[in-house]
Structure formats: structure tokens, C-alpha cells
Structure 1
Amino acid sequence: MKKLENLTMLYIDFDNDEREKYLKIFKNYFKKVLVTCEDGFKIYSQERPDIIIIELETPQSVKLVKKIREKDEKIGLMALTKNSNIELLREIVELSFSSYLIKPVSDGQIEDELKKVSKKIDSIGKITLPLFCQWDINSKTLFYKERVLFLTKRETKLFELLVERRGTFCTDAEILFAVWGDEFDKSITNSSIRTLIKNLRKKVPKGLIENQYGVGYKITA
């Protein structure tokens, strides 16, 4: 899970007193905290924060969130409100808020909810694989039990191909093209693939990559 201190947060609150109170709390967790009461969309567009925490007390605030969500399906959203409003909940249900907190909110509640939002953000763009592995399609990073497995450039290209084609075998020709591409020359042979596969298998859980003679390689089902 991404640590909160590596994330940027935009805090939008229209109550001056409340804003200062919660701002002090949020600054303990994030790398950068942006705060506003009027220029929410402008600051969002300029800074592209990871998480937005917004007070939902006015039609304008709901309209703002809808506008942001149209542009960004991944951003983490947390709502703060002074009272439980069923109509408001109905209006925002499709906006995928991770949390809906009613003020006053304790430090412990905030920390618990922030961790949930962070975990949700972290899961976006990750593909769950067998044997406790995950592949991050954005950073092209392989995780085993949430620990990064460091791959070489060519190992990364090979594993990316196997993930894209998971469930089906990748032939030697497909691997040669995907891994070596423009670098391909007569010195690159099927033996080069065998060596690459061997080295990759040393780094991943046993049984993750299977092969069938004369057919190719794939990630096990």
C-alpha cells in the first residue's frame, strides 16, 4: 500500500473554523496538503492530487465532485458533512466515495479512513495473479505478498507479455518480438529465450510460469 506521506491531498471545506481544525490533522499524514474553499476544480486541474477530502454541505460542492469524477475515475474521494443526509447520499452514491464521515471526526477515525482510501488507490491498475502475486500495469512492477520483485528491463518486457496474454501460451516468436524488438539480430536465438525464462523463474514463485514443449510459456492459471 502506498504510504500516505507519499501522497498529495486536496482539502475543500467552506467552513473557515472547521477547515483550520481538520487541516492541522491532515498535515500530519500527507506529503503535501492543498486547501481551498472556492477554487477546487482549478487547484485539482493544476496539482492533480491523489486524494480529495471535501465538505458536502452545498449543491456547489456536489457539482464540483461530479465534475472532477468525470475527469478522473481513479482519484480517492472522502466526504465530510455535519449531518447524515439521505438525499445527499443518494446523489453521490455513483461518485464512488471511499468514506462518508459525519463531523466531528476523531483523529483515529480519520487515520483509519485515510488508510482505506490509500489502499483503494493502490489497488487501481493492479492485476491479481496466482501465488500471491500482483502486476502493476502502470509502473510495470511485480509484487509478491506486497513486496517488490526487481526485474531487469528484458524480464519486465517478458513478464508484461505473459500478463497481457495470461491464459494462453506465448510462442518463442512472440517473445522475441516483444522483448528484443528493434534490437533483434542473428545473435538472438531460442537459447536467449531459455536463459531469460530461467533467470525470471529464479525471481518469481515456483510454478508461476509454466511451459509446454513446442507451444510456449504462460502464467499458470
Structure 2
Amino acid sequence: MSEKIYDLLYVEDEIDVRGHYVEYLERFFRNVYEAANAKEALEVYKNKKPAILIVDINLPDKSGIEFLQEIRKYDQTTKAIMLTANSDVQTLLNATELKLTKYLVKPVSRADLKEAIALAQEELSNYTVVANKIVKMKDSFCWDKKKQVLLHGNEQQHLTKKERELLTLLFSDINRIFSVDDIVYELWYDSNIYGDNALKTLIKGLRKKLPEGSIKNIFGVGYKIEI
């Protein structure tokens, strides 16, 4: 099992079962958050952005499937493990939008659970997955690549024309460091008003609208987006 570098959210309404598994899961994760229902789970998810979710299919307010469907509307990267009964398996197989790493039929043995979380951690460490349309950021922020809008939760954030153009450029290749010359050419190629401080001023203002550390300055090279 890898070192403790990921956070996990465990969603289960039975308090004794939840407490038992949270204690076990703390061996493998940096932080283990817990929730008793979908409403609590959504709040924890938005505030803590865990890398892995373990969700019981039967929750008191809405099903684990409905909870994950809500998450998948704007997040295709967080890993999800579903705890289910035999009778639910076909339903899960039909719910392809859930993008489950694994489903485990209850009662779940520790060996099966350990194998499932190891698989989720391996997927996280070996693959960088970015949604085609929505990129999840910290603190419940998302960038809609298709619409070119910044969202905080479900609320669209105001951006100036240049702020939108800069984010569109940075999110076009998340792993790339864009040089100052690259950015200037893309944003001001048809204008004579670009000054030495225009880009710095633009980035300073945009940083106030984003989670801390979202735009990283690589000294002597340029800028990149951090999610």
C-alpha cells in the first residue's frame, strides 16, 4: 500500500459500521472524512475535495447512485468505490456514468476493501485524468472548458475578457508552462496597448478570483495552472 498522500470520504449511515471502517481506513489515508447521508457527503466533498469516495448504495436521503451521479456532473476524476448488495449489481453495471473503480458486495471483507483502495490509489498515481468539459479545482471551483466559464459550486464567477482568455489558454494544456511571450502573443497579438505590467496586473487580479496557488509562477520560465 502506498504512503498516506490521499484523502478519502466514507459515506455510510450505520454509525457502528462507519466507525469500524473509518478506524481501519485511517491506516491508509492522510485524512478520512465521514458522512451519514448524501447531503452531508456533498458538503464534505465540496469543502475537502477527497481523492477517493467509498459510498454505500443505501443512504437515508438519496441513494449512493444518485449521490455519485451528482458528483459526476462536474467531476470525472475522483475515484469511487460503491458498497452494494447482490441485487444492486445490475443497476450499477447499467450506470456507466458513475465511472466506478470497483463495486464491493456486502458484507465486505477487509482484504477486498484493501484491494479496492489499492486499485484506486494506483489509478490516481499512474494516470492524470482531465474531464473533456469540466476541470475540477480546489475549494469547489471548476473550469468549464467548453463554455469557458469559472464556476464556484454551481455559481458562475465574473471574469473580464482577458481573464477568460488567459484561463482558456492555461487550461488548454494543464501540464504545460506557458512562457510570458506565449501569453502576450495570444492575449495581445492584435493590440498596441500591451505594457510591461499588463500581464502581471491581469494575473494579480485573477488570482483573487481563484483558489490560492491556482496560477503558479515558474521563475524565469512562465506560468501554469495548478488544479
TM norm structure 2 = 0.52
Change (3 A) 1:4 1:78: farther
**Does the 8 Å contact 2:82/2:103 carry over to 1?**
yes
Written as runs of structure 1 = structure 2, the 5 A alignment for 1:24-173 is 24-38=23-37, 39-58=40-59, 59-125=62-128
4+ residue segments displaced more than 3 Å: none
Q: Which has the larger radius of gyration?
A: 1
Deviates more, 1:49-58 or 1:115-124: 115-124
In 2, Cα distance between equivalents of 1:95 and 1:23: 23
Cα deviation digits, residues 13-47 of structure 1 (max 9, x gap): 12222212211211111000000112111110011
Contact preservation (8 Å) 1:4, 1:118: no
Give the residue type in structure 1 aligned to 2:92: L
1:108 Cα shift? 2.0
Identical aligned residues as a percent: 21
Q: Secondary structure at the match of 2:4?
A: helix
State the partner residue of 1:191. Answer: none
The count of corresponding residues between Structure 1 and Structure 2 is 141
CA distance in 2, matches of 1:54, 1:4: 23
CA distance in 2, matches of 1:108, 1:97: 19
Partner amino acid, structure 2, of 1:44 = Y
Secondary structure of the equivalent of 2:81? strand
Deviation at 1:86, TM superposition (A): 3.5
Contact 2:53 2:78 survives alignment (8 Å) = yes
CA drift of 1:113 comes to 1.2
Change (3 A) 1:91 1:17: farther
Does the 8 Å CA contact 1:82/1:102 hold for their aligned counterparts? yes
Quick one: which amino acid aligns to residue 62 of structure 1?
I
Task: Find the counterpart in structure 1 of residue 166 from structure 2.
Answer: none
Q: Distance in 2 between matches of 1:37 and 1:53?
A: 12
Deviations along 1:106-132, one digit per CA (max 9) or x if unpaired, are 222222111111111223327xxxxxx
- The amino acid that maps onto 1:55 is D
Structure 1 residues 82 and 4, CA, compared in 2 at 3 Å: closer, same or farther?
Answer: farther
CA RMSD of aligned residues (A): 3.5
Q: Distance in 2 between matches of 1:82 and 1:19?
A: 17
For residue 22 of structure 1, what is the aligned residue in structure 2?
21
Aligned 8 A contact 1:74 1:124 in 2: no
Partners of 2:20 and 2:86 lie apart in 1 by 18
Cα distance in 2 for partners of 1:3, 1:16 equals: 28
In the aligned structure 2, how far is the partner of 1:12 from the partner of 1:4? 23
Gaps of 5+ in 2: 130-172, 186-195, 197-227
Which structure shows the higher helix fraction? 1
Instruction: Extract unaligned runs of 5+ from structure 1.
Output: 127-160, 165-174, 183-221
